[in-house]
C-alpha cells in the first residue's frame, strides 16, 4: 500500500468521542519509549505525525489519524511508565479497556515490543487480556537496527519460545526498524490485505 495522505483527526480521552465514521481502525500500543511514535512516522512517511516525546507516559490520549482517507491509524498511550502514580495507572487501564471493548470498528491491534528485551510481564499480561477479549493483534518488534544481524534472530527466537509457554501458536509478528524502514512494506501490505477482504 502506498500512503498518499495521512492526517491528524483528533485526540481525546473518551472513547465515546472518537470519530463516528465506520472506517477500519488499527491501533498501535506498547510500553512507553518502545518506539511507537517513530514507527507511526516511518509507516506514514512523516517526520512528526505522531509526536516522539522526550517525556514518556505524558500523553494519555487516543490519537486518531486518517490514512488515504480510508482507514484510521490510532496511536494509543504508552503503558508501563514507572513514574506515573497508581491512580493514573488505574485511569489509564480503565480507558484502554473502554477503547478496546467499545471500539467495534477496530480491526486489529499492534502491540509493540523492543526486540532487545525479553518478554515483559506487562506486555504478556496485556496480550493475554487481548486474547481473552478476542481482540485480534500482531506483535511488532521495534528497533531491530539496535541488534546485530546474528543477535536479532536469536533474540526473536527466544521471545517466541517464551510466548509459546502461554500461547498455542505465536501470534502474527513483524520485525521493524524506524531508522532503516525495515518491516514497513510488510505491515502496510498486511493492513491493505485485510482492508480489501
Decide if 121 contacts 129 (C-beta within 8 A): no
**Smallest gap, in angstroms, from Cβ of residue 151 to ligand GDP?**
14
The torsion of the CA quartet 112, 114, 115, 120, rounded to 10 degrees, works out to -90
Interface with ligand GDP (CB under 6 A) = 32-38, 52-53, 56, 78, 142-143, 145-146, 177-179
Decide if 74 contacts 11 (C-beta within 8 A): no
Closer residue to ligand GDP in complex, CB, 97/179: 179
Closer residue to ligand GDP in complex, CB, 20/149: 149
**Smallest gap, in angstroms, from Cβ of residue 143 to ligand GDP?**
4
Closer residue to ligand GDP in complex, CB, 78/119: 78
Strand-pair partners of 108: 26
**Smallest gap, in angstroms, from Cβ of residue 59 to ligand GDP?**
9
Give residue number: closest CB to ligand GDP: 35
Polymer length in residues for the chain: 197
CA distances from 147 to 43, 117, 196 (A): 21, 11, 35
Give the burial string for 120-130 (b: 16+ CB within 10 Å, else e): eeebbebbeeb
Closer residue to ligand GDP in complex, CB, 145/186: 145
Closer residue to ligand GDP in complex, CB, 11/52: 52
**Smallest gap, in angstroms, from Cβ of residue 73 to ligand GDP?**
13
**Smallest gap, in angstroms, from Cβ of residue 35 to ligand GDP?**
3
- H or E segment at 37? helix 36-44
Amino acid at each position: 500500500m502506498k500512503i498518499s495522505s495521512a492526517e491528524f483527526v483528533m485526540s481525546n480521552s473518551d472513547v465515546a468521542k472518537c470519530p463516528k465514521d465506520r472506517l477500519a481502525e488499527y491501533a498501535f500500543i506498547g510500553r512507553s519509549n518502545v518506539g511507537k511514535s517513530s514507527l507511526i512516522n516511518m509507516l506514514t512517511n512523516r517526520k512528526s505525525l505522531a509526536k516522539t516525546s522526550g517525556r514518556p507516559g505524558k500523553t494519555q490520549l487516543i490519537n486518531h489519524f486518517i490514512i488515504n482517507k480510508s482507514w484510521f491509524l490510532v496511536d494509543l498511550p504508552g503503558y508501563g511508565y514507572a513514574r506515573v502514580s497508581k491512580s493514573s495507572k488505574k485511569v489509564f487501564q480503565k480507558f484502554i479497556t473502554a477503547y478496546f471493548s467499545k471500539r467495534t470498528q477496530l480491526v486489529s491491534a499492534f502491540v509493540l515490543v523492543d526486540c532487545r528485551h525479553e518478554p515483559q510481564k506487562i506486555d504478556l499480561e496485556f496480550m493475554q487480556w487481548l486474547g481473552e477479549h478476542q481482540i485480534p493483534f500482531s506483535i511488532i518488534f521495534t528497533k531491530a537496527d539496535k541488534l546485530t544481524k546474528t543477535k536479532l534472530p536469536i533474540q526473536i527466537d527466544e521471545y517466541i519460545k517464551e510466548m509459546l509457554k502461554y500461547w498455542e501458536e505465536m501470534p502474527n509478528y513483524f520485525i521493524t526498524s524506524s531508522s532503516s524502514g525495515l518491516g514497513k512494506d510488510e505491515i502496510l501490505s498486511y493492513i491493505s490485505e485485510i482492508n480489501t477482504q
